Amino acid sequence: MGNQGLRAVIFDVDGTLVDTERHGHRVAFNQAFAERGMPDRWDEDLYGKLLEVAGGERRIRHYLSGKADADGDQAGVDIDKLAAELHERKTAIFTEMVRSPQIPARPGAERLIDELDAAGVTVGVATTGSTEWVQPLLDRLFGADRFATVVTGAEAPNRKPDPSAYLMALENLGVDSAVAVAIEDSGNGVQAAAAARLPCAVVCNGYTKLDTIGDAQLVLDGFGEPGKPAAVLSDPYQACPEGILDVESLRRLVCRVGGETPPSQ
């Protein structure tokens, strides 16, 4: 079968392909604070709120600025410099962490990539994360050179919801947004995809829920597996009624968002 309507799928990494946040990035941020003798620790709830700020260095800066506003003791601290130094250390810590099995792929992610490969659909990555850890993580979990393009925060410094990572990935792939889909997990990611005019399917995780992800064209609570489908949280184009994100459901999504079938709900 040809790939009418679907030529490329562009994946987000954090929270989408890989469960990185709660037991990965968060732990690395906390270790960077501890090594510097800072008392700050981000618990799971606070980290969930801080995830609204995309990009690790921006996230630290946002947190430190909030503290400085609330606490006179921070007066005189160069927040930009401190955030940059903490993030440099956090990146080194996390780059070590991604080599261990404690950072797993999300169930169903590899199945979908295999199916897309077999169908001749190009797969790419658009993430706000740092190159240092993104590439070794993808290589370990999915095999070297599995993605036709990997755009990271280094190439697209304007973090999501800015669309530049998606626009760059589309350009690198030579594919029009009308025949591609973004797979995301967060509101920032959904906005970035929309601004790049990409249809977007969302696989929510423990940190991202239907009410925080905004206007996606399809929302599931995971990729779904044969015999273990995901919950379908929103499917106005009736692209994925079985709850298993596969080539056919993504092809239906692209065709229907492109105007062949109006949304039914």
Structure tokens at 226: 């044969």
Amino acid at 59: R
Choose from Mg ion, ligand XBP, none: what does 187 bind? Cβ within 5-8 Å by kind: none
Site string for ligand XBP, 198-217 (x = CB under 6 A): --------------------
Structure tokens at 85: 């130094």
15 in contact with ligand XBP (CB under 6 A): yes
Whether 129 and 152 have beta carbons less than 8 Å apart is answered as: yes
25 in contact with ligand XBP (CB under 6 A): yes
Choose from ligand XBP, Mg ion, none: what does 112 bind? Cβ within 5-8 Å by kind: none
* SS3 per residue for 67-126: HHHHCHHHCCCCHHHHHHHHHHHHHHHHHHHCCCCCCCECCCHHHHHHHHHHHCCEEEEE
14, 162, 185, 246: the active-site residue? 14
Q: Which is nearer to Mg ion, 5 or 15 (CB)?
A: 15
153 in contact with ligand XBP (CB under 6 A): yes
54 in contact with ligand XBP (CB under 6 A): yes
Q: Are strands 122-126 and 8-11 parallel, antiparallel or unpaired?
A: parallel
Q: Which is nearer to ligand XBP, 159 or 252 (CB)?
A: 159
Please give the biggest Cα pair distance in the chain.
65
- Tell me the torsion sign for CA atoms 85, 49, 12, 156: negative
**Cα 165 to Cα 158: distance, rounded to the nearest angstrom:** 8
Whether 164 and 158 have beta carbons less than 8 Å apart is answered as: yes
Choose from ligand XBP, Mg ion, none: what does 214 bind? Cβ within 5-8 Å by kind: none
Choose from Mg ion, ligand XBP, none: what does 251 bind? Cβ within 5-8 Å by kind: none
CB of 59 to ligand XBP, least distance (A): 7
Q: In the annotation, is 45 catalytic? A: no
61 in contact with ligand XBP (CB under 6 A): no
Choose from ligand XBP, Mg ion, none: what does 229 bind? Cβ within 5-8 Å by kind: none
Any idea which residues carry the catalytic annotation? 12, 14
The residues binding ligand XBP (CB under 6 A) are 12-15, 25, 54-56, 91, 127-130, 153, 160, 186, 188-189
